[in-house]
Structure 1
Amino acid sequence: MGPDEVLRGMLMYFVLPLWLAAGFADYLCHRAAHIEKTSGWKESILHLLQFAEMAVPVLAALFFEITSGVILLMIAFLILHEATAIWDVRYASAMREILPAEQHVHSVLEMLPLTGLLLVIALHWSAFTALFGFGMPVFSFTLKQHPLPIPYIVTMLVLTALLEVLPYMEELIRGLHHRTGRHGNSPCGS
C-alpha cells in the first residue's frame, strides 16, 4: 500500500467518520444543555449554517475530481465555516454556559475540517501549488473518472442524515417550539 492509499484511507475511514461522530457529540452537548431554553433556535440556525458550509466541500470531494478549483472551494468554505464557528460560540457563550466537554468537542470540530483539507492537499499537491503560480491551475468541476465505492458514499450519506441532519433539525424544531410556548407538548416533558 502506497502513501496515497494510506492518506486516502485516513481521510475516508478516520477523518470523515470521526467528524460525523464529533458533530453528533456536539448535538448531545446542546441537548444536555437545553439550548432551546437559552440560546434557542438562533444558535440552531448557526449550527445548520456550519453544517451546510462543510457539506459543500465534502460533497465536492466525494463526487468531483480534485482540481485547483475544488481545493480553492474547500479553502473558501473552511474559512467561512471558521468565521461562522466564531460567531456561533460568541453568540452561545453570551446566552449560556459552554461546559468543558462541549468546548473539547468544538476543538475537534474545528480541527477535523482542516485535517481533511490538508490530506486532500497532500494527495493533490500539484493542484494546490498551481493556485500559487507553480503550474497551470485547473478550475473545472468534473465528476470523478474513478468514483468512490457506492457502498461507501451511501453509508456516509446515511450516517450524515442520521447523525447530523436529523438531530440538528430536531434541535431547531425544539428551539422553535420553546419560543412559541409549545415546549410542554413534548412526550418526554422537556
Structure 2
Amino acid sequence: MHNTDPQLIILLWFILPVWLAAGFCDWLCHRATGIERTTGVKETWIHILMFLEMGLPLLAALFLDVNALIIAFMIVMFFLHEITALWDVSYAVSARKVTPVEQHIHSFLEMLPLMALLLIISRHWNEFLALMGLNDAAGSFDIRLRADPLPVTYIVVIFSGIILFELLPYLEEYFRGRRYQKKQSS
C-alpha cells in the first residue's frame, strides 16, 4: 500500500471509519426510539438490504482490482442504496419519530458512500472514462484480486469494526424486533 497516496489514506482511515461510526449511531437512534415497537422487523430488513447494497461494493474495493466493471457495479449499487434509503425513511416516518439527530446521521450515511465512490473513480479515472465511452482506451471488465493487496492488519481491523459496530447491532435489532413480534402475537 502506498502510504503517500492521499486518496487511499482518506478512503481507508477517514471515510470508512466515519461511515462505520455513523451506522452505529443510526442503530443507537433506532434503539432509542423503540424500533421494535413501531416499524419493527420490516424496517430492520430494509437496513439489512442497505447493508448489503453498500457491503458488496466495499468488499469489491477491498479485495478486487478496481476497473470499469467494478466502478459500474459501485455506481449501480450506490443508486440502489439511495432508492432503498428513501424507502427506509418514508416507511420509518410513517410509524415512529425520526429525530433531527437521526436525520443528520442519515445524511452521513448517504454522503459518505458518494464521497468514497468519487474518490475511487478519481483513483481509477481512465477506467471510469472508458466505462462512460469518453476515451479511446477500452475499460477492463475482468474480475481480479487486487494487485496491491491491503495489509492483513487493516483488513482484520476493518472487519472487526464492521462486525462489532454494524453486523452485531443490526442482528440485535432484528432479534429484538422478532421477540417483540412473538410477544405481541401470544
Task: Using structure 1 for the length normalisation, give the TM-score.
Answer: 0.93
What are structure 1's unaligned runs of at least 5 residues?
A: 183-190
What are structure 2's unaligned runs of at least 5 residues?
A: none
Q: What corresponds to 2:148 in structure 1?
A: 146
Partner deviation per Cα, 1:37-92 (whole Å, 9 max, x = no partner): 00011100100110011010000000000100000010010011111101100111
Q: What corresponds to 1:168 in structure 2?
A: 170
SS state at 1:181 partner: helix
Q: What corresponds to 2:44 in structure 1?
A: 44
Partner deviation per Cα, 1:156-184 (whole Å, 9 max, x = no partner): 011100000000000010011101107xx
Give the C-alpha shift of residue 137 in structure 1: 1.3
Contact 2:41 2:177 in 1 (8 A): yes
Partner deviation per Cα, 1:8-44 (whole Å, 9 max, x = no partner): 1000000000000000000000000111000011100
| 1:16 counterpart = 2:12 | no
Q: Distance in 2 between matches of 1:3 and 1:137?
A: 27
Contact 2:36 2:173 in 1 (8 A): yes
CA RMSD of aligned residues (A): 1.6
Contact 2:3 2:9 in 1 (8 A): no
Q: What corresponds to 1:34 in structure 2?
A: 34
Contact 1:4 1:123 in 2 (8 A): no
Q: Distance in 2 between matches of 1:48 and 1:116?
A: 20
Q: Distance in 1 between matches of 2:10 and 2:75?
A: 19
Q: Distance in 2 between matches of 1:92 and 1:4?
A: 43
Contact 2:68 2:139 in 1 (8 A): yes
SS state at 1:180 partner: helix
Q: Distance in 2 between matches of 1:102 and 1:143?
A: 37
Larger CA deviation: 70-79 vs 131-140: 131-140
**Aligned pairs for 1:107-186 within 5 A:** 107-133=107-133, 134=135, 135-181=137-183
**Aligned pairs for 1:84-123 within 5 A:** 84-123=84-123
Question: Identity of counterpart residues, as a percentage?
Answer: 48
Contact 2:44 2:170 in 1 (8 A): yes
| 1:68 counterpart = 2:68 | yes
Q: What corresponds to 2:7 in structure 1?
A: 7
Q: Distance in 1 between matches of 2:61 and 2:33?
A: 34
Q: Distance in 2 between matches of 1:32 and 1:142?
A: 43
